[in-house]
Amino acid sequence: MPGNSFGHIFRISTFGESHGGAVGVVVDGCPPGVPITAEEIQAQLDRRKPGQSEIASPRKEQDTIQILSGHFEGVTTGTPILILAHNKDVRSEDYHHMKDLFRPSHADFTYQKKYGRRDWRGSGRASARETLARVAAGAIAQKFLREKLGVEIISYVEQVGAIRTEVAAHTVKLSDVEASIVRCPDKEAASKMEQLIREVQADGDSIGGIIRARVTGVPVGLGEPVFDKLHADLGKAMLSINAVKGFEIGSGFASVSLRGSEHNDPFEVDAHGRIRTRTNHAGGVLGGISSGEPIEFRVAFKPVATIGKEQDTVTAGGAPTKLSAVGRHDPCVVPRAVPIVDAMTALVLIDHYLRDQAQR
DSSP 301-317: EPPPS--SS-EEEEBTT
- The H-or-E segment that residue 153 falls in is strand 152-160
Contact 137, 343 (CB under 8 A): yes
User: How far apart are alpha carbons 13 and 137 in whole angstroms?
Assistant: 10
With cut-offs at 50, 70 and 90, classify the pLDDT of residue 289.
very high
Prediction pTM value: 0.94
* Ramachandran angles phi, psi of 25, nearest 5°: -150, 145
Using alpha carbons, list the distances in angstroms from residue 313 to 49, 101, 328, 329: 30, 7, 20, 19
**For domain 5-359, which CATH number applies: 3.60.150.10, 1.10.357.10, 3.40.1190.20, 3.40.50.11290?**
3.60.150.10
Query: At residue 204, does pLDDT exceed 60?
Result: yes
Give exposure, 331-340, as e/b (b: 16+ Cβ within 10 Å).
bbbbbbbbbb
Mean pLDDT value across the chain: 93
Please write the tens of the pLDDT for every residue from 155-182: 999 999 999 999 999 999 999 999 999 9
**Phi (first) and psi of residue 222, to 5 degrees:** -85, 130
Which one, of 207, 280, 210, lies nearest residue 238 by Cα?
210
What residue segments make up the domains of the chain, in order of their start? Answer: 5-359
What whole-number distance in Å separates Cα of residue 32 and Cα of residue 75? 7
> Residues of 312-324 as b/e, b for ≥16 C-beta within 10 angstroms?
ebeeeeeeeeebe
